[in-house]
Structure formats: C-alpha cells, structure tokens
C-alpha cells in the first residue's frame, strides 16, 4: 500500500486504529524510517500514536489538516527533517515539554498563536522558533 500524508494528515482518516497505524507506518517506512513503528493510542482527534525508534520513545499527536506534534526522547534532526518531508511543511517551533520530551510542532496556520500561548509558560523549556512566516 503506497501511502503519504494525504491519506492520514491532509484528510481525516477513518476512525479505525489499524487503518491509521497502517497508513502512518507505511509512510514512515517509505521515507527511510524503517525502524520506527507507531501504535495508535487514540483514533479520534487529536489522534495520538506512540512508538520507539532506536530505543528512544516517539509520540505523534495531530489534528488532521491543522497541526502535528512530534515528541521524542531527545532532539534528532534526522527525524525532524523526515517528518518535514512527509508533512510537506517546515516545523514552526520546538521545546522541551513538562515530561522532558523534545517536541517539534508543525502547523498549517495559526502557529504564532500557539507559540505565544506556551511562550510564557515555565513548564515549556528551551522554546525556539523555527519559522519566520
């Protein structure tokens, strides 16, 4: 099954965990992330997935067509870059969340609003803007 982000991010996928997992995993594997396999833990929006890549925890949370949050045990530029290619958009900003995970957020619009929302919250550390527009 040849899939890409159009089948699970740019259109709302069917609310069936297996179908979401299948589409996301095939997209990851097609884009050089064969060692990453995600399990759907919530199939309604925001959709949540978790997995492990080279022993590091990885989590996805997204609202189809609007935003995508990549959480990982540490900053891995390769993972961030591949997700940029998959989603066909630049990441908006990154930070360390209250659980100590490195988060990268991708937004189709209104990302400045979200940036301002977490900017003053001390629970979010090392906030960095990655886009200018």
pLDDT of residue 128: 96
Per residue in 49-76, pLDDT (tens digit) is 999 999 999 999 999 999 999 999 999 9
Per residue in 66-124, pLDDT (tens digit) is 999 999 999 999 999 999 999 999 999 999 999 999 999 999 998 999 999 999 899 99
Widest Cα–Cα separation across the chain: 44
- The number of folded domains in the chain is 1
Burial label, 38 (beta-carbon count in 10 A; 0-12, 13-18, 19+): buried
DSSP state of 46: S
Per residue in 30-42, pLDDT (tens digit) is 999 989 999 999 9
Q: Which domain holds residue 94?
A: 5-129
pLDDT of residue 9: 97
φ, ψ for residue 52, nearest 5 deg? -140, 140
Q: What is the pTM of this model?
A: 0.95
Sheet holding 37-42, edge to edge: 37-42, 47-53, 56-63, 67-72, 102-107, 93-96, 125-129
Does 1 have pLDDT greater than 70?
A: no
């Amino acid at each position: 099954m040849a899939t890409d982000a159009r089948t699970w991010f740019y259109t709302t996928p069917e609310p069936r965990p297996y179908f979401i997992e299948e589409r996301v995993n095939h997209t990851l594997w097609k884009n050089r992330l064969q060692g990453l396999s995600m399990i759907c833990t919530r199939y309604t929006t925001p959709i949540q997935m978790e997995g492990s890549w080279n022993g590091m925890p990885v989590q996805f949370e997204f609202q189809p067509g609007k935003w995508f949050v990549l959480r990982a045990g540490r900053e891995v530029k390769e993972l961030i870059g591949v997700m940029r290619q998959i989603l066909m958009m630049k990441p908006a900003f990154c930070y360390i969340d209250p659980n100590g995970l490195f988060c990268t957020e991708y937004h189709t619009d209104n990302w400045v609003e979200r940036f301002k929302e977490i900017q003053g919250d001390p629970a979010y550390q090392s906030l960095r803007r990655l886009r200018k527009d």
